[in-house]
Structure 1
């Protein structure tokens, strides 16, 4: 399951009762992680986000059949992911009667691979065709999810099955997401990177809007285990689309591969050798940690404490996701107004403060529905602004040969904290209860903005096209 907030693959906050990704990435309206989303919505406007000094591309990606094939497959997958984002938490809480600690374990399993294999995955992926990695990951995810309705139909489905399935999905998602964030430069021209990211993320936001509502309806009509089958078919659709997509990636021959540890070190050195990326990683990692603490308890809070139905839960996510779509559309205009660099600290302040209003819903249960919708929309808007700018910046300045390792290194540090946070949330939830745990996460999230607020971003208009004051560690 997912949650809501920042960056990075957002991404910041993150709940997950099994996740995604988001993400990269798959996250409901109330569940955006910082970084996992990369976006914008408009074509030429998106290009302005990537590099204001670079002329707009001559051709639109609307006429690029190869990109449209990939985009079509990901559209199916994003809608399918929204169904699972809702169905699995409902299954765990209402069908299997999972307690706070069990929900924490399921969420931890859903992100465990980012901590365990996150760093070497980037080095491995840079030695393989990224499109082939994504094809294999889609197949693994489809097969893993297909076991849910089979085990339920056999009458043997238990919480530990969801833990194992979440773990398998986690491994596949690590490889898919790192490849997904690294493949765009191999499909389009450099000046079209932001446009491509904008189209892909806008589709993700549309899925956030329509997907949860459809998911709530399917869960109510078909039951949660059967609804998961819809996601299986969408992952297969993505599998087929990727098989027909072509890329220009050239993988270095085996004899040119560096030792694994040296490859990992180069990727980490590239990230932490750049003063801007260091601060972005700090904000994203702290935000994701505390948002995971908050959102791990979200399904229990919504379904048990507030007594909402799965359909109502889906409507909250769908309406909140409108904020994400508006954020994607508004980002180019905001960037032109306040500057690319200043967009980062301003958005970080906004989504960290917005996180406080999620547990406030427990204090006013009669207004909880409306408050949760507004909180989700504001969080999604500001997280999308943050992600569009920082992910496009990362892709722009990183050499193609380091893209996999750069994304994997960042994911390791900003998503690797999430399984730890989920286990902590499960323990705190068992000890204190769901709502006090959500308050701890919301208050802790305020610290996340400090890294970018105290950095050089305020004094700059635009982010550099390439690092000028730091080189990657050799």
Structure 2
């Protein structure tokens, strides 16, 4: 194996990581297919009204609010790989129930909502355990590369999934396309089961659930680096969800282009995610990891202000360029900061910190869609986009107000949690 091949393939040469990467990549593709296929089943098979279709989308995110915090505690109490295996099996069974019920003539919108809730709950456990499991499988020095490869394949899946869902629905029916998602979870489970490295899990004394949840929340809230990134994520997700909820309406009604061209333009902006995953490591090496996070999340955010200026013809370039830059910046910043969190937060608290951060970040997303819709109703879609994207650009100020602005690199080593209720951290600059 030459140096060039070593550089090109990196962690993919290691069997255990390769299995995790393959399973997670295929599972991400299946989940991306489901994001289109499940509403298609509701609309084309059950003739579901719009309000119920919206409820179906909300059901997929609701588990983060309902079980996100206790899931973090349970993940910290248990070996992470078996939790991920169980989540894959539950998701597979949930999605397989749809074609079975359809074949029996018993499929209802109620079942689809239950499937979305069950699969969403399984995803909460899988995503929380997955972020805590990666530092066990990969050395700290390789976490940046690991996150870049995993998020890169996830972005490819997000880009390809909607188109694949359409093809599967066309050739096999919308219900049949859900079999592909069930199969993707089966592949993920098989890959996880074949990983050779096993966790040495020692059961710890259990305290009250509320106390353990509080420890995770306090750690994330009182450390200035974690707190700043969480608050940024909340504000940025609110604004970006509002922006994406209006994208199709803006391009079709506001700009006046067709559905096919709209799909191509939105897919083109998704390329930013792939670019962001590819440039994250070079950015961190050249500018420093802390500066790479700031450049990606705060520095490129104002590029989104090109989007409301888009118009027909050459003006559509503004939409694509603005979309590519903000997506690339967010993904690059997330790759770098994810690797930092996995080396910074103690392993025994990783699940609880992850779940508390995700609760804040994902909890803001429904509000963003509602706010953007209200603004579009009261004014115009273009005005609502201006408000959302100005808000996104300003969200970077939260990071600039954190210790990140005074750092070149994110601090190495673990966060000292003795006691958990301390204020600040040994690495903070307060």
Return the TM-score normalized by structure 1.
0.76
1:473 aligns with 2:421: yes
Q: What CA distance in whole angstroms lies between the structure 2 residues aligned with 1:79 and 1:223? A: 18
Query: Hey, what does 1:289 align to over in structure 2?
Result: 238
Residues 346, 97 of structure 1: alpha-carbon distance in 2 compared, 3 angstrom cutoff: farther
Of 318, 322, 325, the match for 1:378? 325
1:448 equivalenced with 2:398 (yes/no): no
* 1:162, distance to aligned residue in structure 2 (A): 4.1
SS of match in other structure, 1:253: coil
Mapped to 2, the partners of 1:67 and 1:389 lie a distance apart of 18
Q: Deviations over 1:184-233 (max 9, x none)?
A: 11212232222322222222233234444433433344443332321121
Task: Work out which of the residue numbers 94, 99, 108 in structure 1 matches 2:58.
Answer: 108
Pick from 345, 348, 357 the counterpart of residue 410 of structure 1.
357
Aligned to 2:280: 331
Q: 1:83 to 1:368 in 2, by over 3 A?
A: farther
Aligned match of 1:138: 88
Question: Whole-Å Cα distance in 2 between the matches of residues 157 and 416 of structure 1?
Answer: 30
How many angstroms does 1:461 deviate by? Answer: 0.9
SS at match of 1:473: coil
1:410 and 1:219 mapped to 2: Cα distance?
Answer: 36
Q: CA RMSD in A?
A: 3.5
Q: Which runs of 5+ in 2 are unaligned?
A: 423-430
- C-alpha contact 1:354 1:378 (8 A) present in aligned 2: yes
Bigger shift: residues 90-99 or 75-84: 90-99
- Following the alignment from structure 1 to structure 2, what is the Cα–Cα distance between the partners of residues 392 and 182? 11
Instruction: Give the CA deviation at 1:137.
Output: 1.2
Aligned to 2:165: 215
The 2-side partners of 1:170 and 1:430 are apart by 30
Partner of 1:265: 214
Candidates 195, 198, 206, aligned match of 2:148? 198
Q: Structure 1's 338 and 105: CA in aligned 2 closer, same or farther, altered over 3 A?
A: same
Native 8 Å contact 2:345 2:415 kept in 1: no
Shift of 1:403: 1.3
Give the TM-score, by structure 2 length.
0.83
- Shift in alpha-carbon separation, 1:293–1:209, aligned structure 2, 3 A: closer
Give the alignment of 1:174-189 within 5 angstroms.
Answer: 174-189=124-139
Confirm or deny: 8 A CA contact 2:343 2:414 kept in the other structure.
no
Deviation at 1:298, TM superposition (A): 4.4
Where do 1:20-59 residues align within 5 Å? none
The 2-side partners of 1:93 and 1:284 are apart by 32
Q: 1:354: how far off? A: 4.0
Number of residue equivalences? 416
Which structure has greater helix proportion?
2
Tell me: CA distance 1:233–1:155, structure 2 relative to 1, closer, same or farther (3 Å).
same
1:93: how far off? 6.5
